[in-house]
């Protein structure tokens, strides 16, 4: 029984740290501006944080009771917002026209649109979380909206990452994205998320 927490946390640490380490040591970063490097690493960190969110929401991480897990889930969400802002702000400082094209959905690169969609979903989810804490949104509506936005964030971020041929290693990036999809699918099934949409239609 004591071996399982070690294995779980070890595997999770590897899934998060390996892609970050590969991106940080990529030869593609040679002669790049420090702001650009920081923006790229912020994006990789954001993907790692997205992996943590469903694991925390589902209570799958050993050593974290439900109340503590929800508290960590909120703080990880806040950190995700900061990472996304750092990612976009860094890209803006290095190449404003590219960011403007992405925000206007006129960029010739397909991955840009998916990144922007995921970004707005992250910001909207954070705003709803604030309103929920202030009791300005009903619990059922909150769960429905939060779950829908979580799916948009995951699908948008995974597609964004997989379409980019950048500093993240192909294998490590693919594994991380698959883990994000698997963790999200599991928590959706375990929490019977489809029941929320069924009641909403009814």
The DSSP-derived string for 149-179 is HHHHHHHHHHHHHHH--SSS-HHHHHHHHHH
- Structural domain of residue 7, as residue ranges? 3-201
Residue 141 pLDDT: 82
Domain count within the chain? 1
Calpha distance 32→46 (Å, rounded)? 21
pLDDT averages per 10-residue partition of the chain, 202 residues:
83 93 90 91 96 93 86 95 97 94 93 96 94 79 88 97 88 94 91 61 52
DSSP of 2-44: -HHHHHHHHHHHHHHHHHHHHHHT-GGGTT--HHHHHHHHHHH
Q: Are 169 and 39 in contact (CB under 8 A)?
A: no
Note the pLDDT of residue 200: 53
Check: pTM over 0.95? Answer yes or no. Answer: no
Contacts 24+ apart (CB under 8 A), 82-85: 83/42, 83/43, 83/45, 83/46, 83/49, 84/42, 84/46, 84/119, 84/122, 84/123
The per-residue b/e assignment along 120-135, b for 16 or more CB within 10 angstroms, e otherwise, is: bbbebbbebbeebeee
d(CA 183, CA 7): 16
Q: For residues 182 and 50, give the distance between their C-alpha atoms in angstroms, rounded to a whole number.
A: 12
- pLDDT on residue 24: 92
Query: How far out from the chain centre does Cα 35 lie?
Result: 21
Residue 123 in tokens: 């910001």
């Amino acid at each position: 029984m004591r071996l399982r927490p070690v294995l779980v946390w070890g595997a999770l640490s590897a899934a998060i740290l390996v892609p970050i380490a590969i991106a940080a040591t990529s030869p593609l970063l040679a002669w790049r501006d420090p702001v650009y490097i920081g923006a790229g690493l912020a994006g990789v960190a954001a993907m790692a944080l997205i992996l943590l969110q469903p694991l925390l929401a589902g209570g799958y991480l050993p050593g974290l009771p439900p109340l503590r897990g929800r508290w960590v889930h909120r703080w990880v969400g806040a950190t995700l917002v900061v990472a996304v802002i750092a990612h976009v702000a860094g890209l803006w400082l290095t190449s404003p026209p590219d960011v403007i094209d992405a925000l206007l959905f006129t960029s010739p690169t397909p991955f840009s649109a998916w990144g922007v969609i995921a970004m707005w979903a992250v910001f909207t989810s954070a705003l709803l979380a604030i309103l929920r804490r202030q009791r300005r949104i009903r619990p059922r509506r909150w769960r429905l909206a939060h779950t829908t936005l979580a799916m948009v964030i995951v699908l948008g971020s995974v597609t964004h990452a997989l379409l980019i041929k950048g500093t993240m290693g192909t294998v490590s990036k693919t594994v991380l994205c698959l883990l994000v999809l698997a963790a999200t699918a599991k928590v959706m099934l375990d929490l019977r998320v489809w029941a929320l949409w069924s009641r909403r239609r009814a």
